[in-house]
Structure 1
Amino acid sequence: MPPENKPASTFIVLSLKHTHRRHKAITLWRADDSGYCWKLSSAGAYEEARVLEHLGYYNSGCSNVAVPADLVERLSCEVEYDTKEFGICLPNNADTWAQLLACVIRPTDYEPKPEYRGCRYKENSLWIKRKRCEQVNQAIRIIADHGRRFFYSQTVNRYASMEVDARGKVWFIDDYSGKRIFTHETVRGGRWRGFSHGGTLRSLVEALRDYICTGTPLNPGYLGPERFDDSNIWGYDEAGMKAVREQAGALPVFRQPKPVVDAHDLVSMEIAG
């Protein structure tokens, strides 16, 4: 029998630009880019392919975000969206926005900063943490594509990755077991059930977690710590280790070397000063 055609996913576009702190409902796009509304019944349903083709328009982060239509339906309820006017709308509050922003169609280029009563933004916002997490996953891929291919399971053809949940907590998804592992300390101890690597790589994952949470770059020495005989404790071949250090080391995840100023340039700067 031929496989059944899966229905295409649909998305609703939310307007950050036209949703203000005083509004009780989140502003939605109507169909075919034809204006704005509050009531869910008036909102447009946009096909996934259309949104993905124009992410900068529908999902920039600074003006709009696109989220799954079924999630919007679940979160909607009766709201007094205007004076004595009620309808099924998305309530404009912190909890609703947290769930919506965790499910945007793709990571946005700009940090979404929705306005609602009581909104505050911190330096280590959820969006910033997820941007750092993208950088960490790039580093993990580079490590997994060279040498002994740590963080890649050939058995199940899967790469390890890290992700940030709606609370800002960091999880590690193991390449071999597929388990989603909580990386923070808990009252029940620090055992990582389903982690298929040793203590050295666990220490690296913990350091990557701290970078995601704080933004403080890692020492490049985390990339295949060296032995006295110029080998490395990862057991990577020389070419593979060199590639990892050059490629992953160039990412913001790792501390970058300070530019060297030669004596001639230093004298020139002193004369100019």
Structure 2
Amino acid sequence: MSACYIVSVKWTRRDSPYITFWRPDDCGYAWPLSWAGRYAEDDVLANKDYYHNGVSTIAVPCMLVDNLGVPPVKGTVDGDAGPVVLNNRTNWNCILEFALPDPLDKPQPQYKGARKAMGKEAGK
């Protein structure tokens, strides 16, 4: 089984320049992949409601996400740590296509130009 990054759908806002990832051991959030946790796929699938629920989290193989990484814009991350993944339609489409199968709910990521959540979806 492969290692996965946990993408935070919940904490990647429309105005975020980069996609947000969980840090190791469920301890916070980060933009740089160098600060992100690598979670065992077996653990992710055993705790799908937490790590891969679609509403707040999506699990994606690290190999895929690593290929999306770019250096951050100077001054946007402490110490200019990177790589980071730009928060845009292209990267989200790739993440959604290659995420682990069957999240519990349909992910609705936010990025500049994405549809705004309406009704009960907006309150999640």
Deviation string, structure 1 residues 47-73 (Cα, Å, up to 9, x no partner): 011001001110000000000000010
What is the identity, as a one-letter code, of the residue corresponding to 2:110? E
What's the offset of the Cα at 1:81? 8.1
Unmatched 5+ stretches in structure 1: 1-7, 122-273
SS in 2 for 1:88: coil
In the alignment, which residue of structure 2 is the partner of 1:105? 100
What's the offset of the Cα at 1:80? 2.5
In the alignment, which residue of structure 1 is the partner of 2:52? 59
Q: Does 1:95 align with 2:81?
A: no
TM-score, with normalisation over the residues of structure 2?
Answer: 0.85
Question: Given the superposition, is the C-alpha separation of residues 110 and 34 from structure 1 closer, same or farther in structure 2, using an over 3 Å criterion?
Answer: same
Deviation string, structure 1 residues 123-160 (Cα, Å, up to 9, x no partner): xxxxxxxxxxxxxxxxxxxxxxxxxxxxxxxxxxxxxx
Deviation string, structure 1 residues 187-215 (Cα, Å, up to 9, x no partner): xxxxxxxxxxxxxxxxxxxxxxxxxxxxx
Q: How many residues align?
A: 114
Distance 1:81 1:99 in 2: 25
Q: 1:19 aligns with which of 9, 12, 16?
A: 12
In the alignment, which residue of structure 2 is the partner of 1:150? none
Distance 2:99 2:21 in 1: 14
* Higher radius of gyration, 1 or 2: 1
Unmatched 5+ stretches in structure 2: 117-124
What's the offset of the Cα at 1:11? 0.3
Q: Is the 8 A contact 1:26 1:92 kept in 2?
A: yes
Question: Given the superposition, is the C-alpha separation of residues 81 and 50 from structure 1 closer, same or farther in structure 2, using an over 3 Å criterion?
Answer: farther
- Higher RCO (C-alpha under 8 Å, 6+ residues apart): 2
Q: Is the 8 A contact 1:24 1:80 kept in 2?
A: no
Distance 1:40 1:75 in 2: 10
Q: Is the 8 A contact 1:21 1:116 kept in 2?
A: yes
What's the offset of the Cα at 1:79? 2.3
RMSD over equivalenced CA pairs, Å = 1.7
Distance 1:51 1:81 in 2: 33
Distance 2:77 2:51 in 1: 31
Q: Is the 8 A contact 2:48 2:104 kept in 1?
A: no
Identity fraction in percent: 38
What's the offset of the Cα at 1:109? 1.9
Distance 1:107 1:89 in 2: 26
Where has structure 1 moved over 2 Å in runs of 4 or more?
Answer: 79-87
What's the offset of the Cα at 1:84? 7.1
What is the identity, as a one-letter code, of the residue corresponding to 2:113? G
In the alignment, which residue of structure 2 is the partner of 1:36? 29
Distance 2:77 2:61 in 1: 29
